[in-house]
Structure 1
């Protein structure tokens, strides 16, 4: 579904993403993991066209143009909401921009699922962080896109909403959709992801299934242990704990 070849993202002289390549298949949750500042968010922003880049990004074999962006649902790491609007007004705005017809039933189901009906007429600026995250997620799901780009989507969510989102992701890929998923919560990534790329200092340092990553990291431990070994942080942790 999604193919990335030699993707590079620069901010001035700083290289945030350094010639990475990956493929995301239909029916797959693809995890993008890395330390803070590793290049995860810059990669996801490049996919949705929010930052300039070099290299090639293709969706269903074609370059991602304005029309193709309607095939993507994006939950950014930081809110991108029109906070002077109410959630109801914001959903109506998204529906008009994406030219979604008969959206009311879809909105009603998602609003009920995430429990925000009582906030539909409240200005977004007055909402809690968790409720703003729910509004963001609903707006990304409104047009039922085949590709979901989710950057730390569980931030601020309560346990019930987190469970609902994970079930939505599972149903989405079961129907043939795909998800690119970035998170710092290793337990979630281990349960959700079919394939994982570990990125560090802008480069992909390992890629594959959990079992394949275990072989690369020479450990039979959890994804957290695999990740810390691959990114060279396990030695730092051991040293810190020795002096405590």
Structure 2
């Protein structure tokens, strides 16, 4: 679903991302972890097309995002850590806009929209202007918009920020449901407890290099310690 090959990015003399390689499989939730300044955001920006890599290749459902640009963009939805969304329209209009962009059939729209609105408890607010939404409500509407599009790859940067515990639990269930349809989820988070519970595999990046990759059991086996993901992360990124 998502293949990263020898991906490299430099800022002047600084090597922000150094020839990293990993792949995200169909039906998999993949966690991308690292301390601040490790190269996470740079990598995500290259994947979604906001930054051009200096070297390497990014394939999204088989499409090269530097060559097959439009086709690649139709394969994913991106939910940033700070939801940037049109504020002078209603939540409902935003969801219809996402349906238009990703060509969701008209006969499926209302059922999908109502389903996600009910699950994330946003039905009473969907007809209000987004400018009046709290951060958590904006996060919910952006997540709903991404899920309605049913992308092959769902890319999320700190998706739980601003969500209350109940909404966080619901989002975890929705991500698992999304993957059950053969799609993939790639997300970055600082909440290691969430990553440990939710992710099938993780990659840990530090100073531009992938320093650990695999299931938690595989990583434990490589370092020879039966530790939590948090303890492993702290040890590897010292």
TM-score, normalized by the shorter chain, greater than 0.5? yes
Aligned-pair distance for 1:105?
2.0
For structure 2, the residue ranges without an aligned partner over 5 or more in a row are none
SS at match of 2:174: helix
Distance, in Å, in 1 between the alignment partners of 2:10 and 2:142 is 27
TM-score (norm 2): 0.91
Match of 2:3 in 1: 3
Which has the higher mean CA deviation after the structures are superposed, 124-133 or 6-15?
A: 6-15
Aligned to 2:114: 108
- The aligned runs of 1:91-130 (5 Å cut-off) are 91-102=95-106, 103-130=109-136
Deviation at 1:11, TM superposition (A): 4.1
Asked whether the 8 Å contact 2:147–2:178 carries over to 1, the reply is no
Root mean square deviation of aligned Cα:
1.6
C-alpha separation in 2, matches of 1:223 and 1:157:
22
State TM-score, norm by structure 1. Answer: 0.89
Matched residue, 2:154: 148
Alpha-carbon distance in structure 2 between the residues aligned to 1:46 and 1:200: 17
Please say if residues 47 and 57 of structure 1, whose CA atoms lie closer than 8 Å, have aligned partners that are also in contact. yes
Instruction: Say how many residue pairs are matched.
Output: 232
1:136: Cα distance to partner? 1.1
Q: Distance in 2 between matches of 1:10 and 1:95?
A: 36
In structure 2, what is the Cα distance between the partners aligned to 1:137 and 1:144? 11
Residues 1:167 and 2:168 aligned together: no
CA distance in 1, matches of 2:115, 2:202: 31
Give the deviation of 1:69 after TM superposition: 1.6
1:223 match: 229
Matched, 1:72 2:73: no
Distance 1:93 1:5 in 2: 33
Contact 2:79 2:146 in 1 (8 A): yes
Q: For 1:131-169, what per-residue CA distance to the aligned partner results, in whole angstroms no more than 9, with x for missing partners?
A: 010011011111111211111111111112111111111
Deviations 1:197-238 (A, max 9, x none): 100111111111111211333321111000000101xxxxxx
Alignment deviations for residues 54-101 of structure 1 (CA, whole Å, 9 cap, x no partner): 310112333132123222121111212112222112112222222322
Assess if the C-alpha contact under 8 Å between 2:7 and 2:20 holds in 1. yes
Written as runs of structure 1 = structure 2, the 5 A alignment for 1:31-50 is: 31-50=31-50
Which ranges of 4 or more aligned residues in structure 1 deviate by more than 3 Å? 10-15
5+ long unaligned stretches in structure 1: 233-244
Q: Report deviation, 1:13.
A: 4.5
Higher mean displacement: 171-180 or 201-210: 171-180
